[in-house]
């Protein structure tokens, strides 16, 4: 039996962004979730208090950077800072969704590479280690100057999709752009399917164009699994779906790690009847089932819990990494 974590040696706290996931992680580890008190002063400043002693203990702070992102980021930084100043032995920032990962390059004058800035802020606040899931691009991992573990939900997706009895002659995995191509290829390999990669141009949050050249790659297939790291406004998925349907694809399943579904995303996705299921995880709290009846949410609580347990016992967590090629025998 796998060794457990000593509940007296650790403390797990949750911010307000995703308490349900934090409870799932704590339950997997069989460690109580300690209380966090968050209030606003009259001038709108945050007041945060960790309601359990952390002195000499290993602290895990669970907080996704979901909307309102700035509020949740400040809350996370304060919780990490509190734990450090209260003499915690280690402070681990568990960030299932790292929102600023999309700001990973300087592609216009006088803008911030905010993914790196936030990574620096986490170190300054006192984080000794960071754990997250499916960063927007691999280069973001390099922005962190403390040990950082980018986990993957790929194993969950594979286990779920294998129930569909996919025919490799009729089904294909499709990536909207080259940025997610390697991850899509790993998913396709584990499912025994081919992969197609689109060429995307983004002009704004809601305006994207995908080259019609992908039609040649999906010719002869009937069923497509669109795979992306994140769905925000849904513009990429909708644009790609329309091209695929004109290319002869009859059925579509959508898979993404982070399902934000902002703005009119729900309406856009519901408007395409050929999308049968949208499979995502709970790194972000999902919308109500009645709003998006096609949605299937897989929990990453066990994935994070197992990574925390292995890290605590100084075991390899390689198979849980985003870039692991082998789900069973990957290594750090």
Question: Is position 246 annotated as part of the catalytic site?
Answer: no
Tokens 């911030």: give the residue.
112
Beta strand spans in 127-193 (E): 129-133, 148-151, 171-175
- CB atoms inside a 10 Å sphere around CB 41: 8
Q: How far is CA 261 from the centre of its chain?
A: 13
Beta strand spans in 96-222 (E): 129-133, 148-151, 171-175, 194-197, 200-202, 208-210
Judge contact between 33 and 11, C-beta under 8 A.
no
Q: Which of 170, 200, 209, 289 is catalytic?
A: 200
Distance CA 39, CA 86 (A): 20
Judge contact between 272 and 280, C-beta under 8 A.
no
Structure tokens at 241: 């779906």
- Supply the residues annotated as catalytic: 200
């Amino acid at each position: 039996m796998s060794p457990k974590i000593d509940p007296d040696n650790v403390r797990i706290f949750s911010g307000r962004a995703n308490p349900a996931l934090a409870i799932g992680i704590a339950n997997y580890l069989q460690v109580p979730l300690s209380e966090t008190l968050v209030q606003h002063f009259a001038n709108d400043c945050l007041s945060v208090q960790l309601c359990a002693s952390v002195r000499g203990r290993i602290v895990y702070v669970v907080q996704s950077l979901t909307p309102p992102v700035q509020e949740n980021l400040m809350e996370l930084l304060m919780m990490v800072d509190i734990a450090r100043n209260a003499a915690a032995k280690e402070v681990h920032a568990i960030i299932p969704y790292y929102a600023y990962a999309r700001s990973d390059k300087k592609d216009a004058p006088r803008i911030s590479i905010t993914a790196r800035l936030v990574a620096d802020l986490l170190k300054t606040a006192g984080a000794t280690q960071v754990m997250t899931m499916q960063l927007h691009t691999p280069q973001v991992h390099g922005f962190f100057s403390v040990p950082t573990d980018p986990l993957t939900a790929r194993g969950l997706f594979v286990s779920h999709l294998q129930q569909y009895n996919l025919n490799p002659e009729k089904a294909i995995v499709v990536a909207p752009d080259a940025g997610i191509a390697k991850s899509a290829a790993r998913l396709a390999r584990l499912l025994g399917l081919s992969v197609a990669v689109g060429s995307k141009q983004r002009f704004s949050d809601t305006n994207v164009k995908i080259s019609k050249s992908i039609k040649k790659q999906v010719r002869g297939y009937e069923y497509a699994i669109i795979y992306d790291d994140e769905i925000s406004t849904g513009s990429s998925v909708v644009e790609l779906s329309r091209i695929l349907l004109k290319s002869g694809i009859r059925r579509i399943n959508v898979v993404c790690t982070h399902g934000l579904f902002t703005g009119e995303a729900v309406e856009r996705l519901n408007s395409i009847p050929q999308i049968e299921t949208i499979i995502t995880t709970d790194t972000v709290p999902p919308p109500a089932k009645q709003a998006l009846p096609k949605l299937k949410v897989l929990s990453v609580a066990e994935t994070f819990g197992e990574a925390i347990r292995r890290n605590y016992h100084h075991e390899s967590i390689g198979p849980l990494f985003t870039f692991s090629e082998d789900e069973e025998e990957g290594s750090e």
